[in-house]
Amino acid sequence: MKRIHLFEFEDQQWFPVFLRNYVTDFLQFLSNKAKVYKPIIEVIHTTLSKNDTKNIIDLGSGSGGGLLWLSNELKKANPDLRILLTDFYPNTAAFEYIKKQSDIFSYYTDPVDAKNVPGDLIGLRTQFLSFHHFRPEEGKMIVQNAVDAQQPIAIFEIQDRSISSLITMLFSPISVLIMTPFIQPFRIGRLVFTYLIPVVPIVVLWDGMVSCLRTYSVDEMKALIDSIDNKESYDWKFDKKKSKTGFVIYMTGTPYLKH
């Protein structure tokens, strides 16, 4: 089906920060428990190796996504790995919690715009489950900014515009109700806005459905890259890696100068 860019609550400036954090906290918890990024561990290893870097600059980190579990797998082959968490709406409480779980992590307290990343942030730029938030022209700006800075980039999504993904999202409120008591750091407000005033389950359902409709296909990612200036200076890879628990759509871009 055609890509539809409806609104997500998480993107709205008027949406209360604490509610946005509750939603991203749930996504972080689910991503780690389900090990959703297991299919692309080797993709990240290869991309880091090609660029001779130990640094990941994660853009649009939310509450950390599935990076806590993923980092434990990545550091087996990259013991010096370092991951910097950033976001346009930084959830510093969640970032601090993740940092306490592993010394691999650090975080940026100021807002970071993926379309204009500070020049002092050097390393593999990653986006886990966040690229669909951007319209095509904005997505082009994100990739162009990486190319202009000669920094590698990797984008990962775990849903698509299929009936199966939409059906999966219909069950997401049930997951919220089951998992909320186990999410850390503990917040009374999280319980209130999940069970008494069910804002979080509703937002997770709506944003999840919209995320499916917004997600770029592999062919659309290729078309976006075709519009990038100086794209020929990069080695681009695109694929949809399947696993027992689902799939990951990904795009990586590696400067040839780094080989």
Q: Which three-class secondary structure state does DSSP give residue 58?
A: strand
In a domain, 4, yes or no: no
Number of structural domains in the chain: 1
Rg of the Cα atoms in the chain? 17
Give per-residue pLDDT as tens, 64-119. Answer: 888 999 999 999 999 999 999 999 999 999 999 999 999 999 999 999 999 999 99
Tell whether 36 is covered by a domain: yes
Q: What is the mean pLDDT of residues 189-199?
A: 98
What is the average pLDDT value for the chain, to the nearest integer? 95
Kindly tell me the burial class for residue 60, based on how many C-beta atoms sit within 10 Å of its own C-beta (0-12, 13-18, 19 or more): buried
Residue 194: name the closest of 177, 214, 212 by CA: 177
Burial (CB count <10 Å: 0-12, 13-18, 19+), residue 230 = exposed
CATH number at residue 57: 3.40.50.150
Q: Does residue 2 lie within any of the structural domains? A: no
Does 214 reside within a domain?
yes
| 16 falls within a domain | yes
| 116 domain residue, yes or no | yes
pTM for the whole structure: 0.94
> Taking Cα atoms as reference points, which of 155, 142, 137 lies closest to residue 217?
155
DSSP assignment of 3-48 equals ------GGG-TTS-HHHHHHHHHHHHHHHHHHTTTGGGHHHHHHHH
Give me the pLDDT at residue 259, please: 43
Element (H, E) at 223: helix 218-226
Q: Is 94 within a domain? A: yes
Cα end-to-end distance, the chain, whole Å: 38
Range of the domain at 76: 9-258
Nearest-angstrom CA–CA distance, 163 and 172: 15
Per-residue pLDDT of 159-190, as tens digits, reads: 999 999 999 999 999 999 999 999 988 999 99
User: Would 84 be classed as within a structural domain?
Assistant: yes
Per-residue model confidence (pLDDT) at position 228: 96
Q: Which of 234, 192, 216, 189 is nearest to 129 (CA)?
A: 216
